[in-house]
Structure 1
Amino acid sequence: MTITTIALSNLVLSSLNMRQGDVDVSDLIGSMTARVQAGDAPLLQNLRVTMQLDADGAETGKAEVHVGGRRWRALNALVKAKVIKKTYEVPVAVCATAQAALEESLEENMVRLDPHPAEQYITYARLAETGMTVEQIAARYDQTELVVRRRLALGRVSPKLLDLYRQNQISGPQMRALGLTEDHAVQEEAWFGVEHDWQRQERYLRQRITKDEVEAASNQLASIVGEEAYLAAGGTIRRDLFADDGGAYFQDPALLESLALKILGAKQEEVKAEGWKWVEIHPTLNYAIRDQWGTVAAKPVSLSAEAAARVEELEAQAEAHSEAEDWEAVEVCDAEVQKIHDDAGEEYDPADIAVCGAVVTIAKGQVVVERGFICKAEAKARRAAEMKAERSTDGEGAGEPVVALSGKLREALSGEHTMAMRAAIAAQPSVALVAVVHRLLMQTHYNGFDRDLFSCVSLQGPGYADPMAAYERDLSDTVAGVALAKVREQMAEALPSEKADLWSFLLEQSQDRLLVFLAYASSGLINALQHGHSRSESVRSGQRLAQALSLDMADYWTATADNYFSRVGKPLILEAVTEVVGAPAAAGMASLKKGELAQRAEEALDGARWVPAIFRHSETEALAEVEDGEVQDVAEAA
């Protein structure tokens, strides 16, 4: 084997080289360029060549590269970039025969062992110890600075843990979690200081390392304070280099809370000036807090004389267009009327402000104010007075319920509600766990005769005389029905086909996987049907679950003439139109016959995502629906 140098311009790629065609050499270009700029030779290894022969067997003066094709391509790229000249003398080892060259090419590409990633991480860390900056290492090896920082973090993990990583006893995701800190003691405690393997899952390692810190991406307080203000106040942040969203952990929760409360307190003072009886701060306004109060609604602001005159003009135009059956023109007029009312806005009655309160909270990363909360006793008294007044009302519509749904309609709608809850809970294991544990504790710890009233989770599940069976069949092609069918298909593939194999299969599953199966199983246990004899406690249990699931029935159900408007009284239809389109539009429909009114209501509410009170997850509305239903049941019986 002869070692010599040959000008780059006299080197060509051999047909014996295994790498033919386009080959990525960007990593080599960056590395070689950095070496040349540092005054070093671009190559660390010789190329291996055979001398090119012509048809008569004479040397042509060219040499064919059979080992080092990527390096040869990178050198030519450096010539194009004017980093080196084409006359650059390349060190080569000359192979005597084509057979030997072919064997070398095979060995170069197939008989090789890449270093374990751990060795790469450790080498990066050693480079940093020599004084090289992140920027220098990135330029030297043609990497982004983020990649270099990540490898440095992994290279600084405890040697004990790196050894386990080499032995494949620690996975890449687990290493990335351990790389959250450079403290070897903390890393080792997170790994070795637990009893079970499942406690070493990536998310649990992260939780232990950051147990006293606040994850910015999921924390409401962090969202309103922001990193800049927190750092300016002297806070410190732990960065998760491996998070796609640039994960940050605020390491001083007390400081974060103090800064957030200042922001919320300033908004609280603004709202107090509006005259509310009380204003409270609740950074998280969950169901347990909302459950303390009822609510009162704001009312449309009275229109100015000019706006009222324009509305009257538009209503006259709409009536004329309606007589001419020009429905598009009617819609244009109705839309402008609605815009006038929307622009006027809403306001609370001063009498309501005097007895009601407001809450300053955080939603979607913003400080928001929710107004119109009222104590339950006051809300119940108001509702009773309204119902009494409604029952004594005479005139058009007398004899039909003003605010009630029929028993059959309530049952049908609650069937839709149950199907939607089943579809939603199958995708939310954390809520499913709460629902099932709640039901089990009601069964065991609170073992009173009325325990079934407080949970819509049925331990019996589907079976004989199951009241939901008919609804499942009838609603199989709805949004919820299709979603549930898809989940069942997925579970059929994931679970054993034989019952006898289920126990051993579940023992082998991770906790996260078991929660997925729990959510699926619990979806078949949900039963929130409302019958004529449904009590408020039973209704409340379904409402609580729906609210915990953040269930929006508008995603699953749309009001039509067939499924709702033709099945309720005119007052309820007009109430819905008023709520969505406005009082003027409702007044314009009041004289229509029931069938036509139902169809016009469907058209008016198309796309509005309106749902009736039975689908709204306010306890006050839900219980009022039950009370109204009781009145309706009496009327139907009579």
Structure 2
Amino acid sequence: MAKSQTKTKTTKPPVAEKAADAATTAIRLKQDLRMIPLDQLDFSPLNVRKVAASAADDAELLASIRENGIKQNLVVHALSGGKFAVDAGGRRLKALKQLASDGVIPHDYPVSCLVEDEQNATVTSATENLQRSAMHPADQFEAFAQMIAEGRKEDDIALKFGVSVDLVRRRLKLARIAPELIEQFRVGELTLECVMAFTLTDDHDRQMTVWNAVKDSYHIHPQSIKRQLTETAHSASSSIGRFVGIEAYEAAGGILLRDLFDDNAAAHMENPELLERLAVEKLQNAAKVFEVDWKWVEVHLSVDYGAFRSFGRVYPQDIEPDADLLAEENALMAREEELAAANDGADWTDAEADEYYSIEPRLREIEALQKARQPYAAADQAIAGCVVTIGHDGALRVEKGLVRPEDIPVAAEQTEYPADGDTEIAVTRPNVSPPTSSAPVPISDPATTLRKADGISASLADDLRASRQHILRAHLAADYDVAFDAMLYALCEQALSRSYGTEALNISISPFLAQNRETLHPDTVAQKMLDALEQDLAVEWMTLEKPDDFLAMSALPLPQKQSLFAWAVGLAIKPQLLSDNHPTPIIEEIGARLDVDVAACWR
């Protein structure tokens, strides 16, 4: 039986076929490359990019094309009438038309274009936009540094890339981050915000020390990095920093750490010994004025809040208030009442709101000015003194009329009369208010306090500490505003700076971690909500030193405080299913009140 003869079709191996197709495509593309006048190019409705780039990105591209020209072909398809639609390169076309409109290039400027069939337009547009990957910031940093090493100027780099010189300098600052941290940034262990936080110092060893301290945290926050980098420094916005001033500090050779990425952030003074010496010298110079009239004058960098209660007091004499200041005070108080009566501020214009909130500070200024005019009696000054220190606002603070216990006159009466009742020869004695505390309270700076502490036994210190806490507890329990600020500070201290405890209150919260963290996709609705909320948190105050950070937090508007409070409490919520052993109904009630739709937030 004869075998049937079947003609076998020869086929190319898959690899060879792909190579042939690629070669054919390359030839086709090369053949379709043309120089087309700009005025024959129009925007294509088939371009898949619908979300416009930012104005800043467009400006950067425009500057780059102006300086460097077009480096990549546009992809077009032919229209009727000799026109062409741009399927890929719409932003470049927009920039070219703008340059033509500005007279930089002619309207018929030749543009390199790749012409293809209309049916391929959508695929081409999508492919270009999907395959184009933004340059990683770490690569940008190092590229700028390399260009500087090659002799390029910062101005030249800025011009080439269409960015500001300041931006180039900031990115160059990032390029000087420790190489180990740059690698952590590349692999996603550090966010851009965290890398920016490390630029407070150029000391790589210090950067790595802080990194090793925070790297095992569940969530590494930029504020935690900044706080650790500046823990031995004074904020320029602190009371002592404002008192000395940046100019005087730098003139004395002090090193200043600046946040290059936040113009509103406070700089940090890295030489605390120098800063304190300058502050003491300034206080001593200010004290010379008071040494003439008072029995004694002491200079202290800081004063304990209860320090002056161990002194007696003499007060200035009453005199008629300044007429102009009194008239201004009365007018301001009347205006304050008028504004407050206007529907509690609901109908205020912006100008009226600004006016209302400026009245109270001015009233305090007037009160201080009137008080400063009141003189002390010479007899009072002969037994009293004053303490010259720094106020919380960074201004000079002079506490006058302090009488040491040993200087308080034995007789409590203001006037002593002779036995015969002759009032004409009455002897006047200083009228001294007694101390409000019988326990001696140190008013010195921390170094002096430590020296005097050696004279107090451990048991006495315990008793004093317990009594002080008891008194403070009673007052704190009666003041909601201060209590809320204290609690909010303690929560933020742990939730945002990842501290293990708080110095002020005996509370502790620990962010609960999901047991299966790999299941928590970063693109879930819940994570996007958290990212948006965290981005809007007012946390700049956390970079300040204590207690300036507490004072700054306390001064935040109530809505910002509420956002911080809710964020911190949200971190502490426990994971739970109803099928768990002994589930708490409180969590379910919280979810019900929040009207949480778990299914909608699942992905």
TM-score range, shorter-chain basis?
A: 0.5 to 0.7
Alignment of 1:179-578 (within 5 A): 179-192=199-212, 197=217, 202-220=222-240, 222-245=241-264, 247-273=266-292, 275-287=293-305, 289-301=307-319, 342=370, 345-363=373-391, 364-376=393-405, 453-456=467-470, 511=498, 515=502
Q: Counterpart in 2 of 1:322?
A: none
Counterpart CA distance in 2 for 1:218 and 1:152 is 29
Q: Report the residue type matching 2:400 in the other structure.
A: R
Counterpart CA distance in 2 for 1:217 and 1:46 is 53
User: 1:338-391: CA deviations, max 9, x gaps?
Assistant: 99x959931111111001111222222222322111124556967x658x99xx
1:45 to 2:72 alignment: yes
Counterpart CA distance in 2 for 1:12 and 1:175 is 42
User: Against the structure 1 CA distance between its residues 132 and 64, is the aligned structure 2 distance closer, same or farther, given a 3 Å change threshold?
Assistant: same
Counterpart CA distance in 1 for 2:302 and 2:140 is 45
Q: Counterpart in 1 of 2:558?
A: none
Counterpart CA distance in 2 for 1:106 and 1:93 is 16
Counterpart CA distance in 2 for 1:12 and 1:300 is 84
Q: Counterpart in 2 of 1:151?
A: 171
Alignment of 1:24-39 (within 5 A): 24=54, 26-34=56-64, 36-37=66-67
Displacement of 1:120 in angstroms is 2.2
2:195 aligned to 170, 175, 182, which one? 175
Tell me the number of residue pairs that the alignment of Structure 1 and Structure 2 aligns.
398
1:12 aligned to 42, 50, 58, which one? 42
Counterpart CA distance in 2 for 1:5 and 1:254 is 69
User: 1:396-421: CA deviations, max 9, x gaps?
Assistant: xxxxxxxxxxxxxxxxxxxxxxxxxx
Displacement of 1:86 in angstroms is 1.1
Q: Report the residue type matching 1:92 in the other structure.
A: C
Q: Report the residue type matching 2:470 in the other structure.
A: C
Displacement of 1:269 in angstroms is 0.9
Q: Report the residue type matching 1:362 in the other structure.
A: I
User: Against the structure 1 CA distance between its residues 106 and 354, is the aligned structure 2 distance closer, same or farther, given a 3 Å change threshold?
Assistant: same
Counterpart CA distance in 2 for 1:280 and 1:198 is 48
Counterpart CA distance in 2 for 1:168 and 1:137 is 27
Q: Secondary structure at the match of 1:83?
A: coil
Q: Secondary structure at the match of 2:303?
A: coil
User: 1:462-500: CA deviations, max 9, x gaps?
Assistant: xxxxx99xx99xx9xxxx669989999x99xx9xxxxxx
Q: Secondary structure at the match of 2:237?
A: helix
User: 1:256-289: CA deviations, max 9, x gaps?
Assistant: 333333322221111112x101111123233254
Q: Secondary structure at the match of 1:229?
A: helix
Q: Report the residue type matching 1:276 in the other structure.
A: W
Q: Counterpart in 1 of 2:91?
A: 70
Q: Counterpart in 2 of 1:127?
A: 147
User: 1:208-267: CA deviations, max 9, x gaps?
Assistant: 5445543322251x3233222333333333332133335433344343333333322221
Counterpart CA distance in 2 for 1:218 and 1:81 is 50
Q: Counterpart in 2 of 1:426?
A: none
User: Against the structure 1 CA distance between its residues 250 and 344, is the aligned structure 2 distance closer, same or farther, given a 3 Å change threshold?
Assistant: closer
User: Against the structure 1 CA distance between its residues 196 and 107, is the aligned structure 2 distance closer, same or farther, given a 3 Å change threshold?
Assistant: closer
User: Against the structure 1 CA distance between its residues 517 and 51, is the aligned structure 2 distance closer, same or farther, given a 3 Å change threshold?
Assistant: farther
Identify, as 1 or 2, the structure richer in helix.
1
Counterpart CA distance in 2 for 1:95 and 1:192 is 55
Counterpart CA distance in 1 for 2:504 and 2:303 is 30
1:141 to 2:170 alignment: no
| Percent identity of equivalent pairs | 28
Q: Secondary structure at the match of 2:250?
A: helix
Q: Secondary structure at the match of 2:82?
A: strand
Length-normalised TM-score, structure 1: 0.52
Counterpart CA distance in 2 for 1:182 and 1:124 is 17
Displacement of 1:515 in angstroms is 4.7
Report if the CA contact (8 A) 1:3-1:94 is conserved: yes
User: Against the structure 1 CA distance between its residues 293 and 178, is the aligned structure 2 distance closer, same or farther, given a 3 Å change threshold?
Assistant: same
Q: Counterpart in 2 of 1:92?
A: 113
Counterpart CA distance in 2 for 1:297 and 1:208 is 45
Counterpart CA distance in 2 for 1:254 and 1:455 is 32
User: Against the structure 1 CA distance between its residues 235 and 348, is the aligned structure 2 distance closer, same or farther, given a 3 Å change threshold?
Assistant: same
Report if the CA contact (8 A) 1:25-1:73 is conserved: no
Counterpart CA distance in 1 for 2:321 and 2:205 is 69
Displacement of 1:174 in angstroms is 2.5
Over the aligned positions, Cα root-mean-square deviation in angstroms equals 4.8
User: 1:50-85: CA deviations, max 9, x gaps?
Assistant: 0003xxxxxx21100011111111111111222211
Report if the CA contact (8 A) 2:233-2:268 is conserved: yes
Q: Report the residue type matching 1:456 in the other structure.
A: H
Gaps of 5+ in 1: 54-59, 308-337, 390-442, 460-466, 495-505, 523-547, 551-638
Q: Secondary structure at the match of 1:347?
A: coil
Report if the CA contact (8 A) 2:494-2:500 is conserved: no
User: 1:88-120: CA deviations, max 9, x gaps?
Assistant: 111111112x22111111222334433332222
Report if the CA contact (8 A) 1:213-1:252 is conserved: yes
Counterpart CA distance in 1 for 2:179 and 2:283 is 46
Alignment of 1:621-632 (within 5 A): none
User: Against the structure 1 CA distance between its residues 144 and 481, is the aligned structure 2 distance closer, same or farther, given a 3 Å change threshold?
Assistant: same
User: 1:570-624: CA deviations, max 9, x gaps?
Assistant: xxxxxxxxxxxxxxxxxxxxxxxxxxxxxxxxxxxxxxxxxxxxxxxxxxxxxxx
Counterpart CA distance in 2 for 1:451 and 1:224 is 31
Displacement of 1:162 in angstroms is 1.0
Counterpart CA distance in 1 for 2:238 and 2:134 is 39
User: 1:132-162: CA deviations, max 9, x gaps?
Assistant: 3333333333333333222211122122211
Q: Report the residue type matching 2:41 in the other structure.
A: L
Displacement of 1:520 in angstroms is 7.8
Counterpart CA distance in 2 for 1:455 and 1:64 is 78
Gaps of 5+ in 2: 1-28, 324-365, 418-457, 510-548, 552-603
Counterpart CA distance in 1 for 2:62 and 2:243 is 48
Report if the CA contact (8 A) 2:312-2:402 is conserved: yes
Report if the CA contact (8 A) 1:48-1:66 is conserved: yes
Counterpart CA distance in 1 for 2:494 and 2:270 is 37
User: Against the structure 1 CA distance between its residues 290 and 139, is the aligned structure 2 distance closer, same or farther, given a 3 Å change threshold?
Assistant: farther
Counterpart CA distance in 2 for 1:29 and 1:507 is 42
User: Against the structure 1 CA distance between its residues 292 and 176, is the aligned structure 2 distance closer, same or farther, given a 3 Å change threshold?
Assistant: farther
